[in-house]
Amino acid sequence: MVEDEDAVAADIQRRLKSFGYASAAASTDSEALSIAREMKPDLVLMDIKLKGATDGIMLAQKLRDSFGIPAVYLTAYSDAPTVSRAKLTNPLGYLLKPFTDSELHAAIEIALHKQAADSKVRESEAWYRAILQSTSDAVIVTDIRGSIRFLNLTAEKLTGWRSSEAVGKKLETVFRITSENRRAHVDIPFPKIIKGKAHRRIAGHVLLVCRDGKRTHIEDSASALTDEKGKVIGVVLVFRDVTERNQLAIRLMTDEKMEAVEALANGIAVDFGNILGNISSYAESLSDSLLPGTSAHEDSVKITGEAKRAGELTHRLANIAQAIRPIQSGEVSPVRLSEALGDTVKLMEKTFTDKRISLATPDPAGFPVVMAHAGQMIDVLMNVFLNAVDAMPDGGTVSVNVAVRHIAKPNHRLNPESKGGKYAVIRISDTGCGMPRTVLERAFDPFFTTKNTGALKGLGLTMSNASVQQWGGWITIRSAAQQGTTLSIYVPAADMKSPARAAGGERLILVIDDDDACLSAICSHLKADGYKTITAKSPREGLKHFGKARIKPAMVILDLIMPGREGGREAFRMFSRFGPSVGIVIVSGFSRDFVRGYLGQGGWAFVQKPVEREHLSGVLSRAFMQRATSSTEIRHDSA
Domain CATH number, residue 24 = 3.40.50.2300
560-590 pLDDT, tens digit per residue, is 877 666 666 777 887 777 766 678 888 887 7
pLDDT value at residue 399? 93
Same domain, 261 and 353: no
Segment 174-183 shows an average pLDDT of: 78
In this structure, what are the phi and psi dihedrals at residue 160, rounded to the nearest 5 degrees?
A: 85, 5
Please tell me the distance from the alpha carbon of residue 537 to that of residue 426, in angstroms, as a whole number. Answer: 45
352-409 pLDDT, tens digit per residue, is 998 999 999 888 777 888 998 877 888 889 889 988 998 898 899 999 999 999 988 8
Cis omega (within 30 of 0) on the bond before 98? yes
pLDDT value at residue 427? 94
Lateral strand order in the sheet of 44-47: 44-47, 71-75, 93-96
In this structure, what are the phi and psi dihedrals at residue 80, rounded to the nearest 5 degrees?
A: -60, -45
Same domain, 190 and 73: no
Please tell me the distance from the alpha carbon of residue 413 to that of residue 571, in angstroms, as a whole number. Answer: 46
Here the CATH number for the domain that contains residue 273 is 1.10.287
Q: Whole-model pTM?
A: 0.42
Same domain, 287 and 180: no
Same domain, 118 and 205: no
Same domain, 547 and 562: yes
pLDDT value at residue 460? 64
Please tell me the distance from the alpha carbon of residue 176 to that of residue 169, in angstroms, as a whole number. Answer: 13
* Greatest mean pLDDT range, 54-68, 132-146, 273-287, 546-560: 54-68
Let me know if residue 498 belongs to a domain: no
Q: Is 40 a residue whose pLDDT tops 60?
A: yes
- Give the residue from 131, 152, 187 where a domain finishes: 131
- Give the residue from 303, 324, 345 where a domain finishes: 324
438 neighbors 448 (Cβ within 8 angstroms): no
Q: Is 488 a residue whose pLDDT tops 90?
A: yes
Let me know if residue 497 belongs to a domain: no
pLDDT value at residue 540? 83
**Which ranges of 135-189 does DSSP label H, i.e. alpha helix?**
153-159, 163-166, 171-174
Same domain, 452 and 373: yes
Q: Cβ–Cβ contacts within 10 Å for residue 481, how many?
A: 13
pLDDT value at residue 413? 76
Residue type at position 591: S
Number of residues assigned to the chain? 639
Let me know if residue 518 belongs to a domain: yes
Mean pLDDT of the chain: 80
Same domain, 572 and 538: yes
Residue type at position 489: I
Same domain, 558 and 508: yes
> Which residue, among 380, 375, 381, 372, has the nearest Cα to 333 in the 3D structure?
372
* Sign (positive or negative) of CA dihedral 326, 332, 338, 342: negative
428 neighbors 486 (Cβ within 8 angstroms): yes
Please tell me the distance from the alpha carbon of residue 47 to that of residue 11, in angstroms, as a whole number. Answer: 14
248 neighbors 231 (Cβ within 8 angstroms): no
Print the domain residue range for 508: 504-638
Q: In terms of pLDDT, which residue wins out, 251 or 487?
A: 487
- The total domain count for the chain is 5
301-351 pLDDT, tens digit per residue, is 888 878 777 776 666 555 555 555 555 444 677 888 888 888 888 888 888
Same domain, 214 and 275: no
Segment 10-20 shows an average pLDDT of: 90
Check residue 13 and give left, alpha or beta (phi > 0: left; psi -120 to 50: alpha): alpha
Same domain, 559 and 627: yes
Q: Cβ–Cβ contacts within 10 Å for residue 418, how many?
A: 22
